[in-house]
């Protein structure tokens, strides 16, 4: 992360790998008077004045509010103490491979591949070919001043982890899918991998903005692989009449992650998300949707949280205007000693008539040592809506298990079949 932080004089003070270091210490570091003073210094010099000002305002916000805490509704069933006690310098990755080895597959592939590592973006050649209908990736070196100002305004002070993520990855990368691309990136999806490098220090952060422009259909296949700590904050802008599909798979690779996804949904946009997660020593995946009018939103989560892993999720849908549809369907499986928590919130404003929402969270506990929480919240300020919710936590159904065993399946196979069928 420190390569992103421009306060070069501080680099000499960064902790060595032998030093224990946690998120509280990180926030102390980036909100220190000394660090902020250097930020101000850069404000005068840097051509990205508005970004630096935004960054500084973000640091001051962090200094005032600190890290999220369990008294906040969205985190109060999360194991934040565990997160804050993690050593953010620890890594599960073999130290033999270089970043070039890791990215070598990009050189030979003709797929639309993007890899994000600690704020840097690496792509296959096909994406780099410039055309008016092609995906434009603007990193901090390329972004024009006018656009820069426009996108910087989108970074909000939220009180969740996105401020800390932005605080440790100053230069957001912007992915623009222009109008002319039509369904090009639905037919040939863009595969985005979020990885850790093996550089020291280990915690890595990405702040990205994805702009799906008017009347465009885009599919993203996201892979999140964390061999150490990783914090991602992605803002997806889905413009009028456009469709964004996301298939996200987060697999335990020995690290931990916090992923905040924020969606700004313009009128008549369609958002379809399928995500799966195995959990990790600590995984947090939050979705924030801000819906204008006529938005169709579908979120399906299928999370098989492995033995001893933790997975926490918060979903908030804010419906501002009329005729929005929102279907949330999240299923979690808790294996031995795993912990999961899901909190879902619909906020329907007085002007949001015709809102049609369903919110389901089903949890299957495979072990008495698993701990699972679920909490649906409906905050509705208008009468002219349809809204349902259903949240369950159950064990493997003994009748189903017996039925399958009576057909000759042993207990382990029958249980595995029931897990698969539950996640369907």
Partner 1 sequence: MLKLKNYKVSEVLENINIDFEKGKKYIVMGSNGVGKSTLIHSIMGRPDLEVSGKLTLDGADLLDMPVDQRAKAGLFVAFQTPTAIPGLSNFQMMKQALDLKGSELGVKLAEYKDNAKALKLPDGWDKRNVNYDASGGEKKKSELIHLKMLDNKVAMLDEPDSGLDVDGIKSLITTLNNWHNEENTLIVVTHYEKLIEGINPDAVLVLKKDDVIVGDKTLADTIFSKGFDSV
Residues that bind partner 1 (CB under 8 A): 397-400, 402-411, 413-414, 417-418, 420-424
| CB 415, min distance to partner 1, A | 12
Residue 299: CB minimum distance to partner 1, A: 19
Q: Give the C-alpha separation, 160 to 312, whole Å.
A: 13
Nearer Cβ to partner 1 (353/416): 416
We find the least distance from the C-beta atom of residue 249 to partner 1, in angstroms, to be 19
Q: What is the spatial distance between Cα 318 and Cα 239, in angstroms, rounded to a whole number?
A: 17
**Number of residues that make up the chain:** 424
In the bound state with partner 1, the residue whose beta carbon lies nearer, of 92 and 400, is 400
What span, in angstroms and rounded, lies between the C-alpha atoms of 108 and 93?
24
The CB-of-302 to partner 1 minimum distance in angstroms stands at 11
Nearer to partner 1, 90 or 400 (CB): 400
Element (H, E) at 177: strand 173-177
Our CB check for partner 1 shows the closer of 122 and 409 to be 409
- Beta-ladder partners of 310: 280, 339
CB nearer to partner 1: pick between 87 and 329: 329
Task: Work out how close the CB of 391 gets to partner 1 at its nearest, in angstroms, rounded to a whole number.
Answer: 17
The CB density around residue 319, as the number of other CB atoms within 10 Å, is 33
Between CA 292 and CA 321 the distance in angstroms is: 5
Q: What angle do CA 52, 117, 130 make, to 5 degrees?
A: 80
What contacts 196, CB < 8 A, 6 or more positions away?
A: 91, 93, 117, 118, 202, 204, 225, 226, 227, 228, 229, 230, 255
Give me the least distance between CB of 303 and partner 1, in Å please.
Answer: 15
Q: How far apart are alpha carbons 283 and 256 in whole angstroms? A: 6
Is the Cα dihedral 158, 161, 167, 173 positive or negative? negative
**Smaller CB separation from partner 1, 260 or 362:** 362
State the Cα–Cα distance between residues 183 and 141, nearest whole angstrom: 28
Q: Provide, rounded to whole angstroms, the least separation between the CB of residue 278 and partner 1.
A: 19
User: Which residue's CB is nearer to partner 1, number 316 or number 331?
Assistant: 331
Complex with partner 1: residue 125 or 397, whichever CB lies closer: 397
Nearer to partner 1, 272 or 302 (CB): 302
Integer CA distances (angstroms), 285 to 202, 257, 277, 291, in order: 20, 8, 9, 19
Minimum distance of partner 1 from residue 364's CB (angstroms): 11
Q: Give me 130's structure tokens.
A: 């410039």
C-beta of 423: minimal distance to partner 1 in Å?
Answer: 7
* Strand duo 190-195 + 371-380: pairing: unpaired
Q: Which is nearer to partner 1, 72 or 421 (CB)?
A: 421
Query: How near is the Cβ of 403 to partner 1 at its closest, in Å?
Result: 4
Residue 121: closest CA among 176, 179, 57, 53: 176
Whole-angstrom distance, CA of residue 107 vs CA of residue 370: 43
d(CA 238, CA 240): 7
Residue 406 parent element (H or E):
helix 398-406
């Amino acid at each position: 992360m420190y390569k992103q932080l421009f306060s070069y004089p501080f680099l000499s003070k960064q902790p060595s790998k032998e030093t224990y270091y946690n998120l509280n210490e990180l926030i102390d570091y980036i909100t220190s008077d000394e660090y902020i003073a250097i930020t101000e210094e850069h404000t005068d010099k840097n051509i990205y004045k508005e970004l630096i000002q935004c960054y500084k305002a973000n640091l001051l916000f962090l200094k005032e509010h600190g890290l999220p805490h369990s008294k906040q509704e969205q985190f109060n069933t999360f194991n934040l103490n565990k997160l804050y006690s993690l050593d953010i310098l620890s890594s599960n990755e073999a130290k033999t491979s270089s970043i070039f080895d890791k990215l070598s597959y990009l050189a030979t592939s003709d797929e639309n591949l993007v890899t994000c590592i600690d704020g840097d973006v690496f792509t296959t050649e096909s994406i780099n070919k410039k055309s008016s209908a092609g995906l434009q990736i603007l990193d901090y070196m390329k972004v024009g001043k006018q656009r820069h100002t426009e996108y910087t305004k989108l970074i909000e002070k939220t009180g969740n982890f996105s401020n800390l993520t932005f605080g440790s990855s100053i230069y957001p990368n912007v992915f623009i899918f222009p109008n002319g691309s039509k369904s090009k990136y639905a037919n040939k999806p863009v595969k985005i991998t979020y990885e850790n490098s093996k550089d020291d220090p280990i915690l890595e952060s990405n702040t990205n903005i994805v702009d799906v422009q008017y009347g465009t259909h885009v599919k993203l296949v996201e892979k999140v692989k964390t061999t150490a700590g990783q914090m991602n904050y992605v803002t997806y802008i889905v413009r009028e009449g456009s469709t964004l599909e996301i298939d996200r798979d987060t697999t335990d690779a020995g690290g931990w992650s916090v992923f905040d996804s924020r969606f700004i949904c313009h009128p008549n946009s369609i958002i379809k998300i399928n995500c799966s997660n195995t959990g990790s020593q600590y995984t947090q995946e939050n979705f924030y949707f801000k819906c204008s009018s006529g938005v169709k939103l579908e979120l399906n989560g299928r999370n098989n949280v492995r033995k001893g892993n933790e997975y926490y999720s918060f979903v908030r849908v804010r419906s501002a205007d009329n005729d929005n549809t929102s279907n949330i369907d999240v299923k979690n499986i808790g294996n031995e000693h795993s912990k999961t928590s899901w909190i879902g919130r619909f906020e329907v404003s007085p002007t949001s008539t015709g809102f049609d929402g369903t919110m389901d969270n089903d949890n299957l506990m495979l072990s008495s040592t698993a701990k699972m929480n679920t909490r649906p919240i409906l905050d509705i300020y208008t009468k002219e809506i349809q809204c349902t919710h259903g949240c369950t936590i159950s064990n493997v159904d003994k009748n189903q298990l017996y039925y399958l065993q009576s057909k000759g399946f042993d207990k382990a196979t029958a249980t595995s079949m029931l897990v698969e069928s539950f996640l369907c």
